[in-house]
Amino acid sequence: MLRIVVCVSGGGTNLQAILDGVETGKITNTEVIAVISNNAKAGALERAKARNIPGIVLSPKKYSDREAYNQAFTEKMKELEPDLVVLAGFLVKIPPQMVSAFSGRIVNIHPSLIPSFCGVGYYGLKVHEKVLERGVKVTGATVHFVNDGMDEGPIIAQKAVCVEEEDTPEILQRRVMEQAEWILLPKAIDDIANDRIRIVGNRVCSVAGGNGK
């Protein structure tokens, strides 16, 4: 059974996709053991509470400096002992010590086709605003493993989404969620849980059959 901790800063729509996936069997051999947020008012915490999943608030504002926060965050994650950490709309950079401690066991969902519209400053609605400003015709989402860089880890999967002429950032954000994010992230978790993919060095490899599936 893959034990996962989901980290999220906002409403938690990707968290909900994960919870629904576990409930309906789209995600197998997986248990969400905790939800961590840097925002005490995050809707994701209510989603966790509704499923009797522990919700933990760890805000940088409550610590003397970022190093103190990074240490506390890392220690809490080590205490929880997850097999996989899932960043599902988490707007805090993962501390280097956590990346090291959970190497190859942290995944992130990003709302663009990496390497486009990613890196410092590209998060949430800002990504879709930049997509529309640039005038590209296709965007999408990417699930990737996390390393020390910003959106630079090995890519697990991507899915393209068309940009329409009348799109606003909000409309495009919703379409990318529905057509890409809520599909890619549950599938990636299920693939990891059933040993169908694994990270080798800086590459993601598919494993035929996985755990007999």
Per-residue pLDDT of the chain (213 residues; tens, 9 = 90+): 999 999 999 999 999 999 999 999 999 999 999 999 999 999 999 999 999 999 999 999 999 999 999 999 999 999 999 999 999 999 999 999 999 999 999 999 999 999 999 998 999 999 999 999 999 999 999 999 999 988 999 999 999 999 999 999 999 999 999 999 999 999 999 999 999 988 877 788 888 666 644
Count CA within 13 A, CB hemisphere, residue 144.
Answer: 23
Count CA within 13 A, CB hemisphere, residue 116.
Answer: 17
CA distance 124 to 35: 19
Query: What pLDDT was estimated at residue 212?
Result: 45
CA distance 65 to 172: 36
β-strands 2-7, 30-37: how paired?
Answer: parallel
Query: What pLDDT was estimated at residue 201?
Result: 73
Query: What pLDDT was estimated at residue 213?
Result: 44
Query: What pLDDT was estimated at residue 115?
Result: 96
pTM of the model: 0.93
- Tokens coding 11: 């409403």
Give the active site residues: 110
